[in-house]
Amino acid sequence: MKSWRRTSLVIFLALLFACILLFAFSFVSSTPYTGQTVADTYNISVGQSMFDGDSILGHNRTIQVPLLGNFGFLSHQLLAFDLQGILMSLSTGVVPFDFTTVSGEGIDSYGNAEGIDGPGYLTFEGDKLSVKGPDTYVWGYSAPYKLLCKTESGVDVIEGDTVIQSVPVDQIKNLNYSNDYYNNDTIVSWYNYDADVGSTFTLEKGMVGFSDGRSDIGSDEVPYVFGQDVVDYAAEYPTGSPILLYMGNYTEETGEVYGTSLGSHPEYGDSIREVNARQFVEAWNGTIIPPNSTSSGKDYVYFESATDAEAPGGSAAHGVCPSARALRAAVLAEGFPLPVGMDGTENAVLFGYNPASGITVSNNHDYPVKINMWTEGSGTGMGIYAQITRYIPK
């Protein structure tokens, strides 16, 4: 009991001493701080994505300022009952920076994000630093982050804006890069047959041009901030595609189903036509288009050619038009404009447009939509269907 009383007395006296000093030093002029000066002085990355509990200073960093002139900063240690911190400040003459002096919402006195649900970001509100939670929808655009650039003697591996490796021609086959859509054989073929000096091949994609104004992120940050599903989705679509990264509170609503059948045109080969119709469905099924954005179908979807004397080059991907008619009906019923690469005729897909990555659909809603496509049956009677799912904010 005596030991407990002695400890309580020590704590009380230490706090009393701190309060007396706090009052005395309150008359000493403190250094004027603003969110901007603190961010500039300590290289705080405004725009960075953050989760609840993350420090705006990054890992293993603290800001210590002279106790003299900043004695009021002891108050947040007092409120946290941080006796050890108070005694350390009094003995060393430095005190942890109190971020409540330069911050608005979402940041505690120690510079940690608080009260954030989902991937927030650091920003300015007036002259204050704030961590804001994500909007109902957050989207951005995929962009090359790690890529190969063909040179006179091989390839450079570039990450961000930095060349991290130069690889001679005879070593390209040994590069250890691959995903579901390319491998070393793809890279070698690109180098030998498709690329000129200066041409690039995207290995990994970052995200840029965020709808809420946060900073661009590299490919290593994308899965941490927005999840592996975003990485997998972006890999399926051409670089530069709009990517829906986050959805908050919404209601899912499905539109009407529109369908057609493959039909028969033996002059083009009905078996080839069926393959192409299914490939078109594969290219567009699951495509999510953010608000007021335009997207194509998937990349890495290939079509069979059928002989056609009227087509440029004497061949075309016949069979895609029935699928395109179903998609066209669904998007026009939604109030979207006619997709680029299509017309209003029976043939639907214009010559010269890749039916997957060349056609684009524009979503003029203020909420995201998803394109659903599927087939039923097989052969010339195969049914082809399209439907729009709306993600409407609550």
pLDDT digits (tens, 9 = 90+) for 129-155: 999 999 999 999 999 999 999 999 999
The distance between the two most distant Cα atoms of the chain, rounded to a whole number of Å, is 103
φ, ψ of residue 346 to 5 degrees: the values are -60, -35
CB burial of residue 345 (10 Å; 0-12, 13-18, 19+): exposed
Binning pLDDT at 50, 70 and 90, where does residue 8 land?
A: low
* Tokens (6 digits) for 374: 């599927």
Report the percent of the chain where pLDDT is more than 70: 85
Binning pLDDT at 50, 70 and 90, where does residue 23 land?
A: very low
Residues 262 and 379 sit within 8 Å (Cβ to Cβ): yes
- pLDDT, residue 11, reads 54
- pLDDT, residue 67, reads 65
- pLDDT, residue 215, reads 97
What pTM does this model have?
0.86
Task: Say whether pLDDT at 283 is over 60.
Answer: yes
Report the percent of the chain where pLDDT is more than 90: 75
pLDDT digits (tens, 9 = 90+) for 79-100: 665 666 666 666 666 777 888 8
- pLDDT, residue 26, reads 43
User: How far is residue 149's CA from residue 163's CA, in Å, rounded to a whole number?
Assistant: 9
Residue 346 or residue 309, greater confidence: 346
- pLDDT, residue 143, reads 98
Beta pairing partners, 251:
392
- pLDDT, residue 24, reads 44
- pLDDT, residue 27, reads 39
- pLDDT, residue 109, reads 84
**Helix-helix angle 2-25:83-92, to 10 degrees:** 50
* Tokens (6 digits) for 328: 């066209």
- pLDDT, residue 31, reads 56
Task: Say whether pLDDT at 381 is over 90.
Answer: yes
> What is the DSSP code string of 13-52?
HHHHHHHHHHHHHTTSPPPP--HHHHHHHTT--TT-EE-T
Task: Say whether pLDDT at 357 is over 50.
Answer: yes
User: How far is residue 105's CA from residue 132's CA, in Å, rounded to a whole number?
Assistant: 7
Mean pLDDT, all residues of the chain: 89
pLDDT digits (tens, 9 = 90+) for 98-123: 888 899 899 998 899 999 999 999 99
| Nearest in space to 330 (alpha carbons), one of 238, 249, 258 | 258
| Nearest in space to 132 (alpha carbons), one of 153, 149, 112, 115 | 115
User: How far is residue 365's CA from residue 333's CA, in Å, rounded to a whole number?
Assistant: 13
pLDDT digits (tens, 9 = 90+) for 311-331: 888 888 999 999 999 999 999
